Amino acid sequence: PIAAAPPPRDFVLWSLFNLVWCNPCCLGLCALSYSIKSRDRIIAQDLTGAGIYGKKAKVLNIVALFWGICVTITSIVLVIVLWPRSTERP
């Protein structure tokens, strides 16, 4: 017998994480929107549409996570570099 292909992924949890923690330029919100559209398409048995929305959500999640990590690392480095200078007295 031929096994049915699993439905495409919708990445809702990853989108929620990016919405709360890594949300530069509202990319987490956009990813969540596409994830919900993908989930709706899965329920409606439109697997092609679900795959398209799922791929868009995945790309937005990757970009949001990358930007979030870069901003976090840059902030930590700036605090470490600038903190000693701000505590010095002339």
Residue 9 CB burial class (10 angstroms; 0-12, 13-18, ≥19):
middle
Q: Report the pLDDT value the prediction gives residue 86, as an integer from 0 to 100.
A: 67
Q: What would the pLDDT profile of 6-38 be if each residue is shown by its tens digit?
A: 889 999 999 999 999 988 889 999 999 999 999
Q: Report the pLDDT value the prediction gives residue 23, as an integer from 0 to 100.
A: 84
Higher pLDDT, 39 or 1: 39
Q: What would the pLDDT profile of 54-83 be if each residue is shown by its tens digit?
A: 999 999 999 999 999 999 999 999 999 888
Residue spans of the domains in the chain: they are: 30-88
76: left (phi over 0), alpha (psi -120 to 50) or beta: alpha
pTM: 0.85
